[in-house]
Each structure stands twice: as structure tokens, then as C-alpha cells.
């Protein structure tokens, strides 16, 4: 494959309508992004359950995407966050959509404590350039977003996770009559720039060749 992969998530118990899956599909289908990349990116909307990391994510990673842009919702955060790392920790409090929680605190008992994303800074700068003041975050949570990011970062290709807030339901008119564009529109535009930067980094890697990692 060796293309850019864009991922999002489906619903989960506290977020029955997950905007991240919609945004991932929208970006992947964007003719503008396709023109920029010269090809359509691949898209994967993950079920929010731990089993999906093996059944849905692993087969797509086996095709060696050149880079991965991941999107998830963090409902209580006020801003878009660029996750700079994933940690080898998993919550035993929050069940997935199958009602499962982990039995261990480590996501992968033999894995490193954390996996940093070397591409995160460039993506944050790209978002700023596109007019989105995203925050850097060291804490992708202890749930499926962090776990999927941890898995993807193992691949070694450029990969960045973007957490979006819940988009506001109502649009308040601005004083003067103008309306601010809806948040998902602004995110989609800025994330296009993030996708471009990631794809470029993916192409620039000496080895678009298979990695030595195995699981």
C-alpha cells in the first residue's frame, strides 16, 4: 500500500455519536487532499473495542501505510490536542463497547513504557500555519485512542494522534452578523495540512521498505 492512512473511531459508551469517525471519512474523501497527495488516502474507522486493534487495525498496518493520521474525540478538552506520545497503560475503569476492561495495567506487558511521536511537532506547526492553535498533549488517555496510537507508533512510520473536542451543537452568530465556520469545517481544513506534512515525511523516509518490527 504505502499510502497515508487516516483513522477515526466509532461510538463508545460515553460518546454515542463520535465525530472523529465522520471527520476521518470526510478528510479521506476530500478531493482537495487527494489533489495535494496525488492519490486518495486510506481510511479506517475503528470500533471502540480492544479486540478491534487485532481484527481491524493490525491487518491495515500489515499493509505498511507510509504515514498515519489518527483522530479521536476527547469530549472534555477545550481544544484540539496533538498527542506527542502514547503510553503503555490501559484503564481498568472504562469498558469498551463490548463491556471489556483490561485485566492488566500495562497494555503490552513486554512493551516500552512509552512511544513518542517524532512527527508531532511538525504537525502542530502545520496546524498553526493553517490557523488552528492546537495544544501539545503528553496524555492521550488510557483508553482506545492511546492504545491504538501505541500500536501504530510501533510501526516506525510517521504517525500523529489528534484529539478533537466535542463540536459545539449550536452556532452562535458573531457580533456584526457574521458566523464563524463550524468547528468540524475548520478542523477538516487544518487537518488537511497536517495530512500533507505527514505524507511528505512518510515519502521522505529512506525505507518505505518493511520495518523489522514484529509482534
In the complex, the residues that contact ligand PCA under the rule CB under 6 A are: 9, 12, 18, 20, 48, 72-74, 141, 143-145
Least distance to ligand PCA from the beta carbon of 142, Å? 8
Least distance to ligand PCA from the beta carbon of 39, Å? 26
Sequence-distant (6+) residues with CB within 8 A of 93 are 101
* Residue nearer to ligand PCA on the CB measure, 92 or 205: 92
Judge contact between 22 and 37, C-beta under 8 A.
no
Least distance to ligand PCA from the beta carbon of 60, Å? 17
Neighbour tally for 23: CB within 10 Å: 23
Least distance to ligand PCA from the beta carbon of 112, Å? 20
Least distance to ligand PCA from the beta carbon of 23, Å? 10
Give the C-alpha separation, 51 to 59, whole Å: 13
* Residue nearer to ligand PCA on the CB measure, 143 or 187: 143
Sequence-distant (6+) residues with CB within 8 A of 177 are none
Give the C-alpha separation, 46 to 183, whole Å: 22
Backbone angles phi, psi at 25, to 5 degrees: -65, -40
Among 116, 131, 129, 126, which residue's Cα sits nearest to residue 186? Answer: 131
Q: What would the 3-class secondary structure string for 49-92 be?
A: CCHHHHHHHHHHHCCCCCEEEEEEECCCCCCCEEECEEECCCCC
* Residue nearer to ligand PCA on the CB measure, 89 or 201: 89
* Residue nearer to ligand PCA on the CB measure, 66 or 154: 154
* Residue nearer to ligand PCA on the CB measure, 147 or 198: 147
> Would you say the C-alpha torsion 159, 154, 85, 26 has a positive or negative sign?
positive
Least distance to ligand PCA from the beta carbon of 70, Å? 10
* Residue nearer to ligand PCA on the CB measure, 167 or 203: 167
Amino acid at each position: 500500500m504505502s499510502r497515508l492512512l487516516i483513522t477515526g473511531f466509532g461510538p463508545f459508551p460515553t460518546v454515542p455519536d463520535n465525530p472523529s469517525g465522520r471527520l476521518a471519512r470526510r478528510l479521506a474523501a476530500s478531493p482537495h487532499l487527494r489533489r495535494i497527495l496525488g492519490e486518495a488516502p486510506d481510511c479506517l474507522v475503528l470500533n471502540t473495542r480492544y479486540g478491534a486493534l487485532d481484527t481491524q487495525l493490525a491487518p491495515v498496518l500489515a499493509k505498511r501505510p507510509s504515514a498515519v493520521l489518527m483522530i479521536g474525540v476527547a469530549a472534555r478538552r477545550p481544544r484540539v490536542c496533538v498527542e506527542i506520545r502514547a503510553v503503555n497503560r490501559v484503564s481498568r475503569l472504562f469498558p469498551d463497547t463490548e463491556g471489556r476492561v483490561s485485566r492488566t495495567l500495562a497494555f503490552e506487558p513486554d512493551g516500552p513504557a512509552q512511544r513518542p511521536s517524532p512527527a508531532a511537532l511538525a504537525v502542530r506547526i502545520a496546524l498553526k500555519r493553517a490557523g488552528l492553535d492546537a495544544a501539545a498533549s503528553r496524555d492521550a488517555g488510557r483508553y482506545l485512542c492511546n492504545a491504538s496510537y501505541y500500536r501504530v507508533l510501533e510501526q516506525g512510520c510517521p504517525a500523529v494522534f489528534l484529539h478533537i473536542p466535542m463540536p459545539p451543537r449550536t452556532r452562535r452568530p458573531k457580533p456584526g452578523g457574521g458566523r464563524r465556520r463550524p468547528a468540524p469545517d475548520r478542523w477538516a481544513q487544518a487537518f488537511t495540512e497536517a495530512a500533507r506534512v505527514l505524507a511528505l515525511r512518510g515519502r521522505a523516509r529512506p525505507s518505505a521498505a518493511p520495518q523489522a518490527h514484529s509482534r
